[in-house]
A and B are shown apart, each in its own frame.
Chain A
């Protein structure tokens, strides 16, 4: 019986592979590495996707003042109304007034690179060079007391940064209202 089930499974597998083969429609154009390169901008916590380049806190401070401070506030404090505060909030996450900033909440430093690179500055997204993005990231880590002022950020250094709230995330626990499972006459 067991052998029979196994052979059915094997048969189904062969059948579905055959179907997959048949179902290929040969639509679209092959994407060459040259074409992919220009669009392949994503960065992961393990450092995959971080480009060559490097930046310093000092350079970042300058870029921040010119390109970021108008919305996010001087040194990441006191942002304009409606814009994200980027600094502070440590120790507030378990209080009734949590302050969720890059320093207090974001689990990965690589995500700052990815986000600033793709979506910032707000008025000219995706306009900073890799060196400029590394610099802004270095500055934001510095003003959050995560790296020292002399830190230099590049692909190697950035993936090594341990963020304060790196362990703050857990798997989705829902549905977490177990007492509300319908018990009778539910359908």
Chain B
């Protein structure tokens, strides 16, 4: 049996598990019209079973995954199943993970946030203190700057979870960092802030004061509940639109200074080595980007007919203004519909109706943002930076759809 045949069978199984198609598998006797299914003749499960609700058991394959095994499972990452998500919000349990020393278990009453350095009144804040400050709630994406980094050199990954899954989007609630800085009082020479985590890596990044006073947040809640441990419980920094690593989790310390610290994570890592041997440093904003999430390697067209091509677009510099979709490898483009709300530094869902005639395709999407930037092709991005950068890959992604519906990465 060919690889593509096996894939098609696997994708059929995935559809059955997803419950999205009743004719992709044999319906159980007595469950479809004209018969009335048995679950209408008896009481269902009682309330509070379980007390904290979980997805249907038929969704058990919608989980985070590793891309490939690493040397350790604490200095590691997991990726979000973008192929299984709808809309723009990532459920908290599916938000990608990137840890440098595992997930610490921190009791909130034991946690402290120290704010000191070039300030008038250095402070120690408890979680009770932080929860008393005036709060704000915003919806923003979070993307690791290493997302899609394998595509610099052609990954061989066919799953959008593996190519683009270091990306999530949540509703975040917390205190504007500017409020905290007003409370401690900045000295006139304050220019940078060191943010430090309470994990075993004591993760440390330098944040420019302009960002701190703009839209930076001290976040304690995510999608309406307290942060998940993997997302920095009980409190994290959140810098909308900036590379994910800077939104330091398990935030324990903010030190205000007059210059950046040049920590390991802003020199040895998270710098962008160019073809000429020089490296961009302090490259913060995530550039405009998009990716088609349906069809995908797990779930695709099965037979000719109507489908809706769908995907997500985002920009760390503002909001998405337009997304074009091509089904012929970029030769011609059609404008996709953007699902409201279209928010700043947030995922935007796009959709395009499509009638598949069974012909091979290469589907691409390209996004524009309100600052006038268009998502580049892979070749123009490489012409500008070479193939050595490990971060900030935002090129157009192509997906090949074969005549049998199998989806593969077009750049392999």
Contacts and interface: CB of A to CB of B under 8 A. Distances in A.
A complexed with B: yes
Interface of A: 20, 23-25, 27-31, 35-36, 39-46, 71, 80-83, 93-94, 96, 98, 100, 102, 105-108, 110-111, 114-115, 118-119, 122, 125-126, 168-177, 179-182, 185-187
B390 to A, nearest CB: 9
A154 to B, nearest CB: 20
A31 B117 CA distance: 11
Contacts of B280: 169-174
B277 A168 contact: yes
B273 interface: yes
Contact of A23 (B72, B115, B179, B381): B179
27 contacts: A25-B132, A27-B132, A28-B125, A31-B124, A42-B255, A44-B262, A82-B70, A82-B72, A94-B275, A94-B276, A98-B273, A100-B273, A105-B268, A111-B262, A111-B267, A119-B264, A168-B279, A169-B280, A171-B281, A171-B282, A175-B287, A176-B385, A177-B380, A182-B372, A182-B373, A186-B372, A187-B370
B388 A98 contact: yes
A186 B368 contact: yes
B353 to A, nearest CB: 21
Interface stretch (B43-51, B53-61, B193-201, B402-410): B193-201
Contacts of A172: 272, 280-284
Contacts of A96: 387-388
A132 to B, nearest CB: 17
A28 B123 contact: yes
Nearest to A177: B376
A52 to B, nearest CB: 20
Given A28-B123, A122-B72, A114 B263 contact: yes
| In the A-B complex, the 3 residue pairs with the closest CB atoms | A82-B71, A94-B277, A93-B277
Interface in B241-285: 252-253, 255, 257, 259, 261-264, 267-268, 271-273, 275-285
Interface in B101-148: 101, 114-116, 121-126, 129, 132-133
Contacts of B196: 42
B114 A36 contact: yes
A169 B278 contact: yes
A173 B126 CA distance: 39
Given A100-B273, A106-B268, A118 B116 contact: no
Contacts of A170: 278-281
B372 A181 contact: yes
A28 B268 contact: no
A143 B124 CA distance: 42
Contact of A180 (B71, B204, B373, B388): B373
Given A40-B255, A175-B373, A186-B368, A24 B182 contact: yes
Contacts of A187: 321-322, 370
A126 to B, nearest CB: 7
Given A25-B132, A172-B284, A100 B277 contact: no
Interface of B: 70-72, 75, 100-101, 114-116, 121-126, 129, 132-133, 179, 182-183, 194, 196, 200-202, 204, 252-253, 255, 257, 259, 261-264, 267-268, 271-273, 275-285, 287, 321-322, 368, 370, 372-376, 380-381, 384-385, 387-388, 392
Contacts of A114: 204, 261, 263-264
Nearest to B380: A177
A148 to B, nearest CB: 24
A119 B264 CA distance: 10
Contacts of B257: 44
B124 A28 contact: yes
Nearest to B385: A176
Given A39-B252, A170-B278, 17 more contacts: A27-B133, A28-B115, A28-B129, A29-B123, A35-B124, A36-B114, A46-B259, A71-B71, A106-B268, A107-B267, A108-B262, A114-B263, A171-B282, A174-B280, A174-B285, A177-B380, A180-B376
Contacts of B387: 96
A80 B133 CA distance: 47
A115 B264 CA distance: 6
A80 B183 contact: no
A98 B387 CA distance: 10
Contact of A44 (B123, B261, B388): B261
Contacts of B263: 42, 111, 114-115
